[in-house]
Structure 1
Amino acid sequence: MGRRPTFDTADVVRASRDLFWDKGLDGTSLPDLEAATGLARSSLYHAFGSKRGLFDAAVDDYLSEIVAPRLALLAGPGGPDAYFASLARDLAAADDRRRGCLLVDTTAGPAARDDALAAVVTSYRRRLFDAFCAALTARGDRDVETTARVLTTMNIGALALARVDRDEAVAVALAARRIAAPSDVSEARAPER
């Protein structure tokens, strides 16, 4: 009979998630993970099987703790407006290590070579697209799929830019907010010339 872990798995996953978010899957070493979690390599391997197993647990945590609450904004009052207002605020306030999106950042690295990881990123993009479609349909927009596709792309673009140009990332999120506004609200928000 093996020993029970003497650590909080959720804390280990969260610390690892933040490290992967900062450095990416390829850029995070086992010594980095040991330092971030306070666990020895053997404990990490015993609990998660591999560095990739720990990354997968970190992605699951990211989806439930970071992505799901933001997507829930789309179903609430103001839907897309609330979503992009929140995104712009978070991008502006993010610390230098946790800019952007763990999943979007992953697409530039290992997802291109890893079918299972590419499927997770594709699923995230589809989930985002579907949530935009639902929000736009609920308020009676026309051409929902085109607008949802544009908003999804702008969202992902803002998250990708956040790593290198925070101000432009916020500007893209705010532009998406204007595009997402109902027609009568868009006209009211248009800058005066």
Structure 2
Amino acid sequence: MGRTKSFVTADVVRAARDVFWRQGYDEASIPQLRAATGLSASSLYHAFGSKRGLFDKALTNYLDEVALPRLIALRQERPAPWALADYLLGVRRELTDPGSRLPLDGCLALRSASGSLAADPALRARIVRYRAQLFAAMLAGVRARRPEFDDAEAERLASTVTNLVISAFTLSRVDGAGAVESIDTALALLEPRSAEH
């Protein structure tokens, strides 16, 4: 009879997620992952197959528990007119909070799109899917805030806001002021311009 697994997989994945988030995939070492998870290298390999297998689980956890919950108000059937502005203001607060993970470690999903995994087709597909989820949420928010827009106008603004959010997440570790500026630009674009006289 085999030995009973003596760890909770979700806890191990969260602990590994934090290492990958802080260090990046390439810099996260097996000793660091062992220390964070409390498991031996053989247990990690037995449970997840490889460092990459563990990373894939950690990335899924990050998307499910960190990235996508930020979008919950925008993923409702009928988002409130202020839902997108609230989301952007929430991101801005994170960017300016020294205790937040965002200015310290950035976005794990976007960070993983560079380095040795950048050309990996499976990872690229996940990042493209994540951007599509961001875009869908931004589009729902734009349509709620600017119901006068036709489809082309709404999609154009949603694409711009999505790209500004991605820019902010990407810049957050190296240029906090630039990241905040991206969010402020998105907020300004969301508001109707005053009629010129």
TMscore range, shorter length: 0.7 to 0.9
Partner in structure 2 of residue 158 of structure 1: 168
The offset of 1:2, in angstroms, is 2.3
| 2:117 corresponds to 1:106 | no
Aligned to 1:144: 154
1:25–1:55: 8 Å Cα contact kept in structure 2?
Answer: yes
Give the match for residue 128 of structure 1: 134
- 2: CA distance between counterparts of 1:101 and 1:73? 20
Shift of 1:64: 0.9
Counting aligned pairs with the same residue, the percent is 43
Would the alpha carbon gap of residues 149 and 61 (structure 1) be closer, same or farther in structure 2, given more than 3 Å must change? same
Report the Cα distance in structure 2 between the residues aligned to 1:180 and 1:4, rounded to whole angstroms: 54
TM-align CA RMSD: 1.8
Moved more, 4-13 or 14-23: 4-13
Which residue, out of 62, 76, 92, partners 1:88?
92
Q: CA deviation at 1:141?
A: 4.7
Structure 2: any 5+ residue segments left out of the alignment? none
Kept after mapping to 2: 8 A contact 1:22/1:97? no
For normalisation by structure 1, the TM-score amounts to 0.88
Structure with the largest fraction of helix:
1
CA distance in 2, matches of 1:127, 1:163: 23
Contact 1:110 1:117 in 2 (8 A): no
| DSSP-derived class of the 1:25 partner | coil
- Give the number of equivalent residue pairs: 184
In structure 2, the partner of 1:177 is 187
Superposition TM-score, scaled by structure 2 size: 0.86
Contact 2:104-2:172 within 8 A present in 1 as well? no
Moved more, 126-135 or 66-75: 66-75
